[in-house]
Amino acid sequence: MSVLVYTENWDGKFKKSSFELLSYANEIAKKANTELTALTIGNVSEEELKSLGKFGASKVLVIKDEKLKDFIAKTYSSAIAQVAEKLDSKIIIVANNVSGRAVAARISVKLDGSFAPGVMHLPSSIEPFVVRKKAYSGKAFSDFELTGKVTVLSLNPNSFKLIEDAKGITIEEITVEINDADLAAKPKSVEKATGKLLITEAEILVSGGRGLKGPENWGMIEELATTLGAATCCSRPVADLEWRPHEEHVGQTGKVVAPNLYIAVGISGAIQHLAGVNSSKVMVAINTDEEAPFFEAADYGIIGDAFKVVPALNEAIKKFKAHS
Amino acid sequence: MKVLLCIGHVPDTTSKIRFTENDTVFDTKDIQYIVGPYEELALTRLLEIKEQIGDLNITAINVGPQDTEPTIRKALAVGADDAIRVNAEATDALFVAKQIAEVFKNGDYDFIVTGRESIDFNGAQVGEMIAELLDIPSISSTTKIEIDGKTAKLNREIDGGKEALELEFPFVSTAGKGFALEPRIPSMRGIMQARKKPLQVIEPISQEVKTKTNKFYLPESKAACKFVDAEDVDELVRLLHEEAKVI
Ligand SMILES: Cc1cc2nc3c(=O)[nH]c(=O)nc-3n(C[C@H](O)[C@H](O)[C@H](O)COP(=O)(O)OP(=O)(O)OC[C@H]3O[C@@H](n4cnc5c(N)ncnc54)[C@H](O)[C@@H]3O)c2cc1C
Ligand SMILES: Nc1ncnc2c1ncn2[C@@H]1O[C@H](COP(=O)(O)O)[C@@H](O)[C@H]1O
């Protein structure tokens, strides 16, 4: 028995979210009195694989099969499940992103397990396995009990802190059987914005709403984001009006995010918007209307005109950064 | 061609969420139910495809007790051809997936569409589980779908980008944002016709349930918002640094 973490790599590199995943899994491994094994798929250097050892893994496995060059939910879930079976892992943890969720659900079916999607906290108990999850699109939470033979979890990005726990690690290449017929569902073309900070992973988000009047006014939002090392996002009407790309739409029907800091500029704070952002640790609202519902959810608020407040805030943060 | 469209029966997006019986049961009082927002988009796009290619029968399926029938009728009113209700409480994703996979096996459906995610359970898992049970591909967060004859062309969201795929039937596609632009709403005529469209009720097959919800919580009520003067943004920076410790 060991805890198995499947962590993606991006062109051979791990991201902070990989280390978050390991830190989380390591705490569970300790609670369950067992070891932590990390698995990744692709061409990753020895050096990079070693970095996983800093966060509690005692074994790192890598699959370098050419057949797994493209992400296909069916082949990836099969590969990960095969490794879990070899290691007799009873707890499997992946990231709760588009690909992670897809493989996790499939793995739970393959291994006769149960799956808790989108967890953000450590389990309150290992036997029985009880973990808190989001419900009703962030308007509630639930204690969720998993009674399958295997427990599969997907961890929300940005929901767990990094905890260093360096171990002497072993690195091993491992092989799996891939069914050629499954390769039919492979992508014909892939467009990936490399090097761009993903909205779902950013620690700070600066988000704009219809109060910004038009796409030409996003310059100040982008500047503020750059100063903060943040990504930008937006409310649904802004994406619907094509002021901003659809990938930036957050909320109940867009991306669900949970950054450390969410700055909402000219966003009223409709319940469907809040459903996608209310797991943020700290929220700031900037709005001309003191009655805007966002102020009921925000930690800090400025009642004022975004066109004045945002540039001023940008300057103030620049000044602060220069002195700290 | 035949498609099985899995529709959830979920609280309207503006619902205030409450629980009863020591926070173990969802309080349905004053709750309006709707077809899940992604499934609405999915249905809309399937109707467009039907109009294009002519030959497409859309069967809406829901696993739920009798209370879900008005929601199923809504899907029929928008334009689904017929419907199936599997008569059981939907408390576990695998249970739901098993029922739908069974219906797929027993019918001559070509593909399955689900929503990307339900807005009550937020699992984003039922579609994947159906695909795994049937041993067929799953395309999650599909942002675009076109169907011509023997193949389907799909775009899907991936982390930080998008992918285009072309695949043969059968498969499961989970509909995300972009699947259709605006959901269609039922016409008066649609609502009249929906009453006459077939809604078949079938009994579930048994399936061990391996998850359960022990208790619900509402988020802790937040401290009141601290207001900072618009002329004094330095104060906001100070608070974010010293008090909130986020910059
Ligand atoms: C099924 C369903 C799903 C939905 N899903 C989502 C979702 O996922 N995400 C989402 O965002 N919405 C969603 N919505 C829409 C949601 O209900 C709101 O309509 C939307 O969030 C409003 O966007 P907004 O706040 O940008 O615009 P508005 O409501 O128009 O608000 C603009 C705000 O800007 C303020 N403002 C104006 N001028 C200024 C200025 N100069 N400076 C500062 N502030 C200013 C105004 O006071 C106002 O509060 C959904 C709706 C439905 C029915
Ligand atoms: N009880 C149900 N009956 C039919 N389809 C469902 C049911 N529950 C979920 N689905 C479908 O599965 C999708 C994903 O649900 P979930 O895994 O709960 O996020 C939904 O968008 C629906 O399309």
Write out chain A's pLDDT in tens, 324 residues: 789 999 999 989 999 999 999 999 999 999 999 999 999 999 999 999 999 999 999 999 999 999 999 999 999 999 999 999 999 999 999 999 999 999 999 999 999 999 999 999 999 999 999 999 999 988 899 999 999 999 999 999 888 999 999 988 999 999 999 999 999 999 999 988 766 788 988 999 999 999 999 999 999 999 999 999 999 999 999 999 999 999 999 998 899 999 999 999 999 999 999 999 999 999 999 999 999 999 999 999 999 999 999 999 999 999 999 988
* Per-residue pLDDT reduced to its tens digit, B173-198: 999 999 999 999 999 999 999 999 99
Rounded to the nearest 10 degrees, how much is the dihedral formed by the CA atoms of A256, A260, A263, A267?
30
CATH match of A204-322 with 3.40.50.1220: yes
Mutate: best of A70, A109, A200, A290, partner B, most B CBs <10 A: A109
pLDDT exceeds 80 at position B168: yes
Nearest to A4 by CA among A150, A149, A145: A150
A37 forms beta bridges with A4, A59
Residue B127 to residue B240: CA distance in whole angstroms: 41
| pLDDT reported for residue B163 | 94
Q: How many domains does chain B have?
A: 1
Residue at B225 is within a domain? no
Residue at B243 is within a domain? no
- Find out whether A200 and A257 touch, Cβ atoms under 8 Å: yes
DSSP helix/strand/coil, B167: strand
- Find out whether B143 and B157 touch, Cβ atoms under 8 Å: yes
Measuring CA to CA, how many Å separate A126 from each of A28, A32, A131, A281, B164?
Answer: 8, 7, 9, 26, 41
* Domain positions in chain A: 2-183, 204-322
Residue B59 to residue B6: CA distance in whole angstroms: 8
Residue B222 to residue B240: CA distance in whole angstroms: 16
| pLDDT reported for residue B180 | 95
| pLDDT reported for residue A198 | 87
Q: CATH topology of A2-183 equal to that of A204-322?
A: yes
H helix intervals, chain A: 16-31, 46-51, 73-87, 98-110, 219-228, 236-240, 271-277, 294-297, 306-323
- CB contact under 8 Å between B158 and A312, yes or no, is no
Shortest Cα–Cα distance, B202 to chain A (Å) = 24
pLDDT exceeds 90 at position B7: yes
- Find out whether A207 and A263 touch, Cβ atoms under 8 Å: yes
User: Rounded to an integer, what is the distance from CA B135 to the centroid of its chain?
Assistant: 21
Q: Where are the beta strands (DSSP E) in A176-323?
A: 189-192, 204-208, 231-234, 261-265, 282-287, 300-303
Return the CATH architecture of domain A2-183: 3-Layer(aba) Sandwich (3.40)
A232 forms beta bridges with A206
pLDDT band at B161 (very low <50, low <70, confident <90, very high): confident
Residue at B195 is within a domain? yes
Residue at B229 is within a domain? no
| pLDDT reported for residue A168 | 87
| pLDDT reported for residue A270 | 97
Residue at B236 is within a domain? no
ipTM above 0.90, yes or no: yes
| pLDDT reported for residue A138 | 86
- CB contact under 8 Å between A105 and B38, yes or no, is no
Domain that holds residue B109: 2-213
Residue at B203 is within a domain? yes
H or E element that contains A179: none
pLDDT exceeds 80 at position B149: no
Mutate: best of B168, B177, B229, partner A, most A CBs <10 A: B177
| pLDDT reported for residue A196 | 76
Rounded to the nearest integer, the mean pLDDT of chain B is: 96
CATH of the domain at B89: 3.40.50.620
Is A143 at the interface with chain B, CB within 8 A? yes
Number of Cβ within 10 Å of residue A98's Cβ equals: 22
Shortest Cα–Cα distance, A168 to chain B (Å) = 32
With 0.90 as the threshold, say if the pTM is over it.
yes
| pLDDT reported for residue A74 | 97
* Per-residue pLDDT reduced to its tens digit, B193-226: 999 999 999 999 998 899 999 999 998 888 899 9
Residue at B232 is within a domain? no
Residue at B242 is within a domain? no
Nearest to B100 by CA among B133, B67, B73, B78: B133
Residue A313 to residue A238: CA distance in whole angstroms: 22
